[in-house]
Amino acid sequence: MPTPPELRSALLHHLRYSAGVEPDRASVLDWRVALSHVLRDRATAPWLEAARRTRDEGLKSVNYLSMEFLPGRLLEDAAINLQLRDAVVAAFDDLGVNVADVVDDEPDPALGNGGLGRLAACYLESMSTLGCPAYGYGLRYERGLFRQHFEDGRQIERPDEWLSHGDPFSFTRPETAYEVRFGGELDEVDGREVWRPATRIIAAAHDTPVVGYGGRWVNTLRLWSALPGGDLLDLDRFNAGDFMGAADLETWARTLNRVLYPTDTTDLGRELRLSQEYFLTSASVQDVLRRFLATQDDLRRLPEQAAIQMNDTHPAIAGPELIRLLVDDHGFAFDGAVDLATQVLSYTNHTLLPEALEMWPVDLMRHLLPRHLQIIERLDRRIHEVHGHAADEVHLIEHGHVRMGDLAFATSHRVNGVSALHTDLVSRNLFPHLEALTPGRLINVTNGITPRRWLKLANPALADLVTETIGPGWESDLERLRDLEHHAQDPGFLEAFGSAKHQAKRRLASWLADEHAIELPLGSLIDVQAKRLHEYKRQLLNILWTVSRWQRIKADPEADWMPRVKIFGGKAAPSYAAAKDIIRLINDVGRVINDDPETRDRLRVVYPPNYNVTMAEKLIPAADLSEQISTAGMEASGTGNMKFALNGALTIGTLDGANVEIREQVGAENFFLFGLTAEEVTARREQPDHARTAIEQSQALQDVLQAVAEGTFSPDEPGRYGSLLDHLWTSDWFLVAADFDAYNSSQELVDRTYRDPQRWQRMAVLNMARVGCFSSDRAIGQYMKEIWDLPPAQ
Ligand code: H2P
């Protein structure tokens, strides 16, 4: 373990030789470059050692394919896991450099949308912590997800330049590169299919070390980018003066990893997205085979050495790709290749939403991946040959589309849902026929979160209190938090717990003031909904209730209202008009309410733009109340719900996703439950005119909708929310109206409970103490045992 003076000289060394400046001329960026190199150096020895052991001891490794990774800032997390954070702080102090500025200088790579990408990052970190050899495979989007701004309350998207100052914590490996082919024709030569592709793009690796807690094991996050190779530039066209046209192919190649998820509402957008998915998958699967063949030559043994996990359907082309490589390049018979691929592959389903279960038009597939389409058709025939009539309802291709969820299921030996309720719904509503053909293939692994980032890094005051109270070690054994239960009645501990929350609120307040010129009234109940914007997550329910609260305060200003701050964080997909309307409504309502002198000391709306992992690290520790209010049956799991509970917030939520299990763990009396159940949701949707009926039964909701319709929050354009209101009155698929009154009653109970600070804190302590099972270490332990067939810890 290096001492602060050793770290200090290492920082000075890298400042000089990696950043190329002297200390008196160094900018914050220079210091960050130096720190990145110092930490990377420390990660490198265990990283190389992990790779060597994996090779020499023939350890099986996991290959986690994901179109999204939301790692958050890397440096502080690496310092914590290398157990160097205190020494780094001391070294910078000694150098007279403000370490907070250096940490804040690091961009937050937005290589994902929300929970799915963040889960991938938590899992990779847990695999390192548990010593499970693993590669995370993704794309190195040059610009990531967009940067969100608000203009007149509307979401505006701007490119996110996270790489503009380089990526000093990673290694670029131009020699770890694979050709990925697209388009072209199929030929039959000597009875074998030969694919003659039209385009070949080189995928090159960028590796980021992922340090496990304690620094004993380090895995790799390998992100691909298209290499603008010489072949991509058409020199004849260039020399003829057509400079732009000459670079067409090069532009297309770079487009593959330019942004995350281009809008797929156009044909070209869809083509690009499928190309991105194939680019990631093909490069990764080729890499898995190359690594295997570097030490062995009998590919039939691949399942003993490699597991490939498909994170949702985005990499579902992995099945056909692995089969293609085995058949076309390694001489396997089709059936043998399918069996082998299935033993290696597994698939996590993260959603029941039809729009997220990809279906690619057959024509597009034929145009882009003709050989894969042929393999999928053959797989489909094979299922029917093997299972006969039992497979009558199973179709990998239907209505001119390839069903990627079914394809992923059919080519995996294990499929998992991400919470108990979700897995049950997947089994009943999504894959009932496939599951009947292969009983036992579908299992549940409830999601988890890493306590290193989500408690130790994000909430230092609370983390220190936990260590003082129950001793160290909880970071890698989160069930130990149970010991806190013994302190739930101790007034001294409850006071310290309350003061840790207050510190987190102060940190949030100073960040909001500095970055967004927003004032946070510290004496209020801090109520947070932070997640991707989606109608099913029901930010709309939250903001309509906020309007209702405002109206009630105004109607009875003398009453003793518990002050609240409603904080929102989240981005909407650029083409998702309804979600963008909701964003605008939140901002419009916020402007009116926050300016109202009659209510502003009792109700505020705060919506800082550009929600990301770094913002989550500030919001979550400060929250008193966690909003997990999705329409039951629609949120697969949620992981924010776990992070808030771990940080001592109480949840107001529906019986949805992992809320169900969180409530079981923390106790029904420590959870604010409301709303229809998943079954009731299904039944309610079938009732004719249920939307209108629900609104007509709620005077409070009618008052709110009337205010919105009259333009109270959009006086310059009273009709602004016409379509949103229309939807509520006529269809209300997400059952905002049906749950409105129940949500209100639950919110009133929140107020009453919060009035008794000791009681609230006791409940919060019990929440924290009882959510240890939602550690991603537990989840990964389950994946290792039940899916990847790996021994517990290596
Ligand atoms: C999704 C699901 C969440 C789930 C997460 C990880 C797709 O994330 O909707 O319920 O917890 O995957 O399994 P999100 O909505 O946050 O983008």
- Quote the mean pLDDT of the chain: 96
pLDDT tops 90 at residue 193: no
Summarised one tens digit per residue, pLDDT across range 472-507 is 999 999 999 999 999 999 999 999 999 999 999 999
* Cα 548 to ligand 1 centre (Å): 29
pLDDT tops 70 at residue 283: yes
Question: Measured from the CB, is residue 120 less than 6 Å from ligand 1?
Answer: no
| Test site for ligand 1: of 351, 450, 571, most ligand atoms within 8 A of the Cβ | 351
pLDDT tops 80 at residue 761: yes
Does residue 566 carry a catalytic annotation? no
| Test site for ligand 1: of 111, 537, 637, most ligand atoms within 8 A of the Cβ | 637
Question: Measured from the CB, is residue 121 less than 6 Å from ligand 1?
Answer: no
pLDDT at residue number 249: 87
Domain range annotation of the chain = 1-57+84-107, 58-73+108-447+780-787, 473-683+739-774
pLDDT at residue number 230: 62
* Cα 774 to ligand 1 centre (Å): 15
pLDDT at residue number 779: 98
Summarised one tens digit per residue, pLDDT across range 681-693 is 999 999 999 999 9
188 burial via Cβ count (<10 Å: 0-12, 13-18, 19+)? exposed
Does residue 537 carry a catalytic annotation? yes
Radius of gyration of the chain from Cα atoms?
27
Describe the strand order of the beta sheet including 359-361 as a list of residue ranges. Answer: 359-361, 401-403, 397-398
pLDDT at residue number 269: 86
Q: Does domain 473-683+739-774 have CATH number 3.40.50.2000?
A: yes
pLDDT at residue number 229: 65
| pTM, to two decimals | 0.97
Summarised one tens digit per residue, pLDDT across range 126-145 is 999 999 999 999 999 998 89
Cα distance between residue 546 and residue 643, in whole Å: 24
**Nearest residue CA, atom 11 of ligand 1?**
638
* Cα 133 to ligand 1 centre (Å): 25
Percent of the chain with pLDDT over 90: 91
Summarised one tens digit per residue, pLDDT across range 345-360 is 999 999 999 877 899 9
Question: Measured from the CB, is residue 417 less than 6 Å from ligand 1?
Answer: no
Q: Specify the fold of 58-73+108-447+780-787.
A: Rossmann fold (3.40.50)
pLDDT at residue number 176: 95
Percent of the chain with pLDDT over 70: 99
Between 436 and 252, the higher pLDDT residue: 436
Strand partners, 360: 402
Question: Measured from the CB, is residue 68 less than 6 Å from ligand 1?
Answer: no
234 burial via Cβ count (<10 Å: 0-12, 13-18, 19+)? middle
Strand partners, 173: 205
| Eight-state DSSP code of residue 593 | H
Lowest mean pLDDT among 76-80, 110-114, 340-344: 110-114
**Nearest residue CA, atom 12 of ligand 1?**
116
Nearest CA to 372 out of 202, 181, 226 is that of 181
Cα distance between residue 604 and residue 257, in whole Å: 40
pLDDT at residue number 792: 83
Does residue 639 carry a catalytic annotation? yes
List 456, 531, 534, 762, catalytic entry = 531
pLDDT at residue number 263: 72
> Fold identical between 58-73+108-447+780-787 and 473-683+739-774?
yes
Does residue 554 carry a catalytic annotation? no
Question: Measured from the CB, is residue 637 less than 6 Å from ligand 1?
Answer: yes
List 350, 487, 501, 770, catalytic entry = 350
pLDDT tops 90 at residue 771: yes
pLDDT tops 90 at residue 246: no
**Nearest residue CA, atom 6 of ligand 1?**
116
Nearest CA to 619 out of 459, 464, 495, 753 is that of 459
Ligand 1 atom closest to the CA of 657, numbered from 1: 10
pLDDT at residue number 276: 96
Confidence of residue 793 (pLDDT cuts 50, 70, 90): low
Sign of the CA dihedral with 158 first, then 164, 169, and 174 last: positive
* Cα 479 to ligand 1 centre (Å): 24
pLDDT at residue number 53: 96
